């Protein structure tokens, strides 16, 4: 019903409120889910689920960096954009949020760099250092 990743997110309270409530309700009625949660907690506490594991698994449901880029530019179908909006705002995915921040910075940087490049191309291009002496 709920997989381990979801239960881990539940422990960390990083799920949308309605999902948190659904899991709580399910835990009340479902003995096997309680056992599953117990296992998840003990495995987590013994370090089997490293933070890296959690992110790697979690990221499977994250939009790609390309998608985030299109989202940022507003060049995206509504369905997809709504999903990403949900992912960022409701799920509050910190990974995607920082990715998005980074992308928005680098898009800005790219624009600046592109202008500079155009300007300096002729002179700076020839001064590039050689790989080895």
Which residues are near Zn ion by CB under 5 A? 62, 93, 95-96
Least distance from C-beta 95 to Zn ion, angstroms?
A: 5
Least distance from C-beta 98 to Zn ion, angstroms?
A: 10
- Cβ(100)–Cβ(88) below 8 Å: yes
Q: Report the Cα 109 to chain-centroid distance in Å.
A: 22
Least distance from C-beta 6 to Zn ion, angstroms?
A: 14
Buried b (16+ CB within 10 A) or exposed e, 58-78: beeebbeeebbbbbeeeebee
> Residue 86 or residue 119: which is nearer to Zn ion going by CB?
86
> Residue 33 or residue 83: which is nearer to Zn ion going by CB?
83
């Amino acid at each position: 019903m709920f997989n381990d990743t979801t239960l881990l997110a539940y422990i960390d309270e990083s799920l949308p409120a309605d999902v948190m409530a659904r899991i709580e309700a399910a835990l009340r009625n479902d003995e096997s889910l309680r056992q599953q949660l117990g296992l998840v907690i003990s495995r987590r506490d013994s370090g089997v689920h490293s933070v890296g594991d959690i992110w790697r698994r979690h990221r499977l449901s994250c939009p790609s960096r390309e998608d985030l880029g299109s989202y940022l530019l507003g060049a995206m179908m509504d369905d997809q954009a709504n999903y990403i909006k949900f992912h960022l705002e409701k799920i509050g995915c910190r990974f995607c949020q920082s990715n998005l921040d980074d992308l928005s910075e680098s898009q800005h940087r790219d624009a600046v760099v592109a202008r500079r490049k155009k300007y300096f191309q002729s002179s700076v291009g020839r001064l590039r250092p050689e790989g080895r002496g």
